[in-house]
Structures are given as C-alpha cells and as structure tokens.
Structure 1
C-alpha cells in the first residue's frame, strides 16, 4: 500500500474497531474492509473513502453534512457514498461504519452481536 493511502486506511481501521469479523482486503486495487467477504468500505484516494450506506440515509447525510459526505455521478443511485476521510471526526466515521456493518453483515452475525 502506498504511503499516501495508509493514513486514510488507518483511520478506517480505527473507526471499525470493535465491529465483529472485520477483514482487511482490497477493492478496485485499494485497501478495503469487509465483513465475511462483503464490502464495507475502501480507500478511494488519499483524501476520500467509499462507505456503504442505505440510499435513504445517503441523501440526508449529504445534505446535512456536505463538508464530510458527497458523491460523484459514478455513485448516484448506489448504496454507497464518498467521505472526506480527514475532515470527518473519527466518532462520526465509526457511526457510518457501524451502519455499513449492520447493512452488510449476515443476519445471524448481527443478531449475535452487540454492534
């Protein structure tokens, strides 16, 4: 992993701390986090990460906090959004990853978890 992506990935890993069965991997050639092989988030570039997000929440979040959340045409209509990783507070990013985890983790894992 190039150094320019490592600080963004370190923040993702810190935000995901405590979520059950988080695996490190890659997605589109960049560092990613998954739960049982299902995508949660990835580093897009040194300043941006992609995080899974229910469509109904995505619009609200982008409107409420455009300094943190946005999308490009590529992501329109998809349940994921772009996050300015160095601007968003760690606690907020952790909340977004918890929501992504609840969305992607198998139901049995969610049921047996306190996440």
Structure 2
C-alpha cells in the first residue's frame, strides 16, 4: 500500500515535475500540464490514460484497483486506490501518465 508521501516522492522523481494545488489537493505537473492529482479522500489518485478504451480495460481487469465516477465519464481519466497498489506499480502508473503529458522531446530524453 502506498501513501500520499509515497506518491509525492515517486512523482517528484520525474523530470521537470512540480507540485501545486488543483482544487485544493496536491497535483503534479510537467511543464504546466497536470499528470496526477490526489483526490480529497487522500487515498485515491486521478491519472490520465491514453484513451477511454484503456480506462475501461483497466477498470474491467482490476476493479479493486481502478475505478471511475460519473464526474469522469467521457474523459480518459482513471482513479487508482492507494491501498491496492505497491510502490513499484504506482511508480509505473505515474511514469505512464507523465509520458502522456510531457512534451515529446522531454519524454524521449527521459526514455533514452
């Protein structure tokens, strides 16, 4: 199980990541584009994914880990329960979300 502090530490290891509030909760940005936000509950992370199909696939495959709410209907955004993932998986999820939002050159340099 990861904590808010774990999420923060993992997110801030990614290049050019900054933390600043979004809707009064901690959020993480790469060059001004958000890629993760901790929800009000404090144990749920909001992440962008590649498509609504990918979102549906994650939720169908692991409903104890991934879910959504009506607020996110129509958006390629998934919710992740902190208690259902370990640090390694959370790091991978954050990195994938970061890659989606990072400028192409920055992501390519990171992957090189």
TM-score bracket, normalised by the shorter chain, equals: 0.7 to 0.9
TM-score, normalization: structure 2?
Answer: 0.86
Question: Which is further off, 13-22 or 43-52?
Answer: 13-22
The aligned residue for residue 44 of structure 2 is 48
The aligned residue for residue 109 of structure 2 is 112
Counting only pairs closer than 5 Å after superposition, residues 55-70 of structure 1 correspond to structure 2 as 55=51, 56-70=53-67
The aligned residue for residue 79 of structure 2 is 82
CA distance in 2, matches of 1:57, 1:107: 21
Give the C-alpha shift of residue 86 in structure 1: 2.4
TM-score, normalization: structure 1?
Answer: 0.84
Deviation sequence 1:63-105 (CA, Å, 0-9, x none): 1111110000111111211111122211111111111111000
What RMSD over aligned residues (CA atoms) do the two structures have, in Å?
1.8
Give the C-alpha shift of residue 111 in structure 1: 1.8
Does the 8 A contact of 2:12 with 2:18 survive in 1?
no
SS in 2 for 1:112: helix
- The number of residue pairs the alignment matches comes to 109
CA distance in 1, matches of 2:6, 2:75: 23
